[in-house]
Amino acid sequence: MSVKRSSIHGQWSSRWAFILAATGSAVGLGNIWRFPYLTGENGGGAFVLVYLLCVVLVGIPIMMAEILLGRRGRQSPINTIRTIAAEEGLSRHWHLLGWMGVIAGFIILSYYSVIAGWTLAYIFRTGTGLFVDADAVYSKQIFTELISDPEKLLAWHTIFILMTIVIVSRGVKSGLEQAVKFLMPALFILLLVMVGYAMSTEKFMEGITYLFVPDFERLAEKNFFADIFLPALGQAFFSLSIGMGAIMIYGSYLSQKSSITFNCFTIAIADTTVAILAGIAIFPIVFTYGLEPAGGPGLIFVSLPIAFGQMPFGTFFGTLFFILLMFAAWTSAISLLEPAVTWLVENRNMTRVKATALAGLIAWSLGLVTVLSFNHWAFSFTFAGVMKENGLFDIFDILTSNILLPLGGLLLAIFTSWLMSKSSTVEELGLGDSRAYHAWRFAVRYIAPFGVIMIFLNAIGFFKLLGFN
């Protein structure tokens, strides 16, 4: 059965518009802020290696599944899943999976916006030359001053949510393309400049070794599933924007003719390259200036400004860097809001502007929790062998990246590969009954569910019960 639906929310002007928008969604704080700090917390090379495997074996196949569903349903993720479930004769309860994604999106956006607010603040801090000749102590002090002031955090968070609302209310298609087309390549080039600087530092090789060579001694002390695999898988989901419907809704605006496979690989390669470049730029600086790799969420905000303070034209490069990082965060944030907005437009008969304002307000309110997590409400706890110091922010982050996104991905994988008819997915992927199709199907049927289920079983202590460490 061939389906020919069109989305009431519009369509991308070309295949490249989709690739740019989806890359804009994928590349963001996840690559430049979250990837380095998690790598530092989890001990380097082994984490990076497992992360790369997760992207290839679990991430890309699930991203393909999400786009496939989105393009077939051509509605908000909730209604897309409802429609396809009905067509395939499956339970109507599957649409709850769409709801789980919407909730995950709100939680992620609520804290994402606070961190994006830090990048806004840093545009001004670097722009005024604050970091010229700064040392590690001074740089840390500037960062601590920012996060311990809830009023400042609130102001930047509010500005960033408003920026997100402006774009989403106009429809993610207009305006976005231009931003991604020029700013992403610019960010990429600036990262290369940073890598160039990192190469000139004393501890460049130490940074590279830390990033790419697994430390097996350290690994032996850790629980592989809980301490390495879980955060690495969570990071793969987070960085690729999968597991909650963001890529699904972008896929719903994709032309029927475009190749899902080619698009996914392009997006994933761009996303992974940016993360790795960020790692190469940051760790040599961290070691050269005696910072702690496990410094937590402040890692790039403390380390990079020191480098900007030392390098020629550092004030210029530093300001430009935080501007571009802000744009990267912006093009990601809009994809977190889009699934909820499209549902409000479809089911509550709202205009896009009203729907966006309402959804934005929900994310903004929830963001107050994160604003306070770095100061008045701060508390610490240990998770996966790592000391987390920012209470509810860390809990939000763990709940979404390590639980809701992988669970969403698992259910999406089961839905597309075990429950939908094979003919529907063959038709939608457009690969025919080829090797490539079978490789994809094998990955979503077996590899992705196996990986996620192992992690969840471990989390509930199943392996301990069986007597493993």
Q: Which is nearer to ligand TRP, 167 or 336 (CB)?
A: 336
| Residues 90-119 interacting with ligand TRP (rule: CB under 6 A) | 108
The H or E element containing residue 136 is helix 136-147
Q: Which is nearer to ligand TRP, 116 or 134 (CB)?
A: 116
Site residue total, ligand TRP (CB under 6 A)? 16
Q: Which is nearer to ligand TRP, 169 or 201 (CB)?
A: 169
Nearest approach in angstroms of CB 133 to ligand TRP is: 31
Nearest approach in angstroms of CB 269 to ligand TRP is: 15
Q: Which is nearer to ligand TRP, 188 or 224 (CB)?
A: 188
* 238 scored as a contact of ligand TRP (CB under 6 A): yes
Q: Which is nearer to ligand TRP, 243 or 293 (CB)?
A: 243
The type of residue at 168 is: V
Percent of the chain as helix, strand, coil, to the nearest 5:
75, 0, 20
> How far apart are the C-alpha atoms of 240 and 405, rounded to whole Å?
11
| Residues 380-409 interacting with ligand TRP (rule: CB under 6 A) | 405
Nearest approach in angstroms of CB 240 to ligand TRP is: 6
Write down how long the chain is: 469
Nearest approach in angstroms of CB 339 to ligand TRP is: 9
Nearest approach in angstroms of CB 332 to ligand TRP is: 4
Instruction: Using the rule CB under 6 A, give the single segment among 51-59, 191-199, 282-290, 330-338 that binds ligand TRP.
Output: 330-338
Q: Which is nearer to ligand TRP, 201 or 400 (CB)?
A: 400
Instruction: Using the rule CB under 6 A, give the single segment among 191-199, 235-243, 373-381, 410-418 that binds ligand TRP.
Output: 235-243
**Diameter of the chain measured on Cα atoms:** 66
Helices (H), 170-213: 176-200, 204-212
Nearest approach in angstroms of CB 235 to ligand TRP is: 9
**Are residues 5 and 252 in contact, defined by beta-carbon separation less than 8 angstroms?**
no
Q: Which is nearer to ligand TRP, 226 or 334 (CB)?
A: 334
Nearest Cα neighbor of 231 from 444, 44, 448 is 44
Q: Which is nearer to ligand TRP, 270 or 431 (CB)?
A: 270
Q: Which is nearer to ligand TRP, 214 or 296 (CB)?
A: 296
Tell me the DSSP string of 345-361.
HHHS---HHHHHHHHHH
| Residues forming beta bridges with residue 388, ordered by sequence position | 381
Quote the tokens at residue 47.
């984490």
What is the crossing angle of helices 60-73 and 260-288, to 10°? 140
Nearest approach in angstroms of CB 299 to ligand TRP is: 15
Nearest approach in angstroms of CB 441 to ligand TRP is: 24
> How far apart are the C-alpha atoms of 211 and 241, rounded to whole Å?
23
Which conformational region is residue 37 in: left (phi greater than 0), alpha (psi within -120 to 50 degrees), or beta? alpha
* 270 scored as a contact of ligand TRP (CB under 6 A): no
> How far apart are the C-alpha atoms of 236 and 70, rounded to whole Å?
20
* 241 scored as a contact of ligand TRP (CB under 6 A): yes
| Residues forming beta bridges with residue 381, ordered by sequence position | 388
Give the burial class of 152: count Cβ atoms within 10 A of its Cβ; 0-12 exposed, 13-18 middle, 19 or more buried: middle
> How far apart are the C-alpha atoms of 17 and 4, rounded to whole Å?
21
Quote the tokens at residue 424.
């529907």
By beta carbon distance, the residue nearest ligand TRP is: 30
Quote the tokens at residue 120.
């806004």
Give the burial class of 216: count Cβ atoms within 10 A of its Cβ; 0-12 exposed, 13-18 middle, 19 or more buried: exposed
Nearest Cα neighbor of 164 from 123, 204, 112 is 112
Q: Which is nearer to ligand TRP, 314 or 367 (CB)?
A: 367
Q: Which is nearer to ligand TRP, 247 or 306 (CB)?
A: 247
Nearest approach in angstroms of CB 31 to ligand TRP is: 5
Nearest approach in angstroms of CB 95 to ligand TRP is: 19
Q: Which is nearer to ligand TRP, 311 or 452 (CB)?
A: 452
Residue from 291, 324, 336, 431 touching ligand TRP (CB under 6 A): that is 336
* 335 scored as a contact of ligand TRP (CB under 6 A): yes
Residue from 75, 113, 272, 332 touching ligand TRP (CB under 6 A): that is 332
| Residues forming beta bridges with residue 29, ordered by sequence position | none
| Residues 11-50 interacting with ligand TRP (rule: CB under 6 A) | 25-26, 28-31
Which residues neighbour 331 within 8 Å (Cβ) at sequence distance 6 or greater? 21, 24, 25, 27, 28, 176, 179, 180
Residue from 161, 233, 244, 304 touching ligand TRP (CB under 6 A): that is 244
Binding site for ligand TRP (CB under 6 A): 25-26, 28-31, 108, 238-239, 241, 244, 246, 332, 335-336, 405
